[in-house]
Amino acid sequence: MSAIRLKTLINQKGYERIIKSVRRDKIILLGSMFFYFLLFLAPVILYLLFKNNFFINLTGSFWRVAAIMGASIYYFSCWLFFFGAFLDYYLDFWVITNDRLLNIEQNGTFARIISELDLYKIQDATSEVKGILASLFGYGSIHIQTAGETKRFELKQIPNPHELRKIIMDMAEEDRKFHMTQTK
93 binds other proteins (CB under 8 A): yes
Identified binder of other proteins from the candidate list 11, 57, 77, 135, rule CB under 8 A: 77
Contact 97, 19 (CB under 8 A): yes
Q: How far apart are CA 160 and CA 167, in angstroms?
A: 11
From 47-55, 107-115, 132-140, 165-173, span contacting other proteins (CB under 8 A): 107-115
24-63 binders of other proteins (CB under 8 A): 59-63
Query: 125: buried, middle or exposed (CB in 10 Å: 19+, 13-18, 0-12)?
Result: buried
CB nearer to other proteins: pick between 77 and 123: 77
Binding site for other proteins (CB under 8 A): 1-2, 5-6, 9, 21, 59-66, 68-69, 72-73, 75-77, 79-80, 83-84, 86-87, 90-91, 93, 104, 106, 109-110, 112
